[in-house]
Amino acid sequence: MSLTDRLQSDIKSAMRGGDGPRRDTLRMVLAAAQNAEKDKGATLTPEEELAVLTREVKQRRESIDAFEKAGRDDLAAGEFAEVEILMPYLPEQLGDDELRALVVAAIARTSATSARDMGKVMGALMPDVKGKADGRAVSSMVAQELARTDLAEHDGDDHASAEKAEG
């Protein structure tokens, strides 16, 4: 069953159950998918449907941040409720340990050594985590691991230069 079919079915269930917020949230996502389909001029692939859904969740998370910074906790709560409604439609999210393992593997695969290699690592990593992890969390973890890698290399350089000076 495609995401669009699932959304349509769940909208009907929400209508029957009198769940207005769920119905409205699912309708917005369905409309976004239908608009993307019109723009493409063809049926969306499952990957493209996932991209639409991921973009919708990302927009809501950004709204939550903006509303919280503006002190509008009431509006942030509404956006948070919509994210909670949409999460079951996304693939199972990666845990921190799973994500860290993928980040470390991507760093090794790209031979990245410093923060300057962030783009290279992100480019290699994102296809593996698309829809399974929040982009900001991925970016943050890549930055942490690259800093750790860079620090470890510099410590090694310090030891090597100290040994040269003694030798």
pLDDT tens-digit map of 44-94? 898 889 889 989 998 999 999 999 999 999 999 999 999 999 999 988 888
DSSP state letters, 107-152:
HHHHT--SGGGHHHHHHHHHHHHTTTS-HHHHHHHHHHHHHHHHHH
CB 103 within 8 A of CB 94: no
* Residue that finishes a domain, picked among 66, 89, 112: 89
Q: Are residues 108 and 140 in the same domain?
A: yes
Residue numbers of the domain that contains 42 = 3-89
* Residue that finishes a domain, picked among 43, 70, 89: 89
Share of the chain above pLDDT 70, in %: 90
Confirm whether pTM is higher than 0.85. Answer: no
Per-residue pLDDT tens for 65-79? 999 999 999 999 999
pLDDT at 160 over 50: no
Q: Is the dihedral of CA 74, 79, 82, 87 positive or negative?
A: negative
Shortest CA distance to 82 belongs to which of 65, 66, 59?
A: 59
* Residue that finishes a domain, picked among 27, 56, 89: 89
Q: In whole numbers, what is the pLDDT of the chain averaged over residues?
A: 86
pLDDT at 104 over 50: yes
Q: Are residues 22 and 78 in the same domain?
A: yes
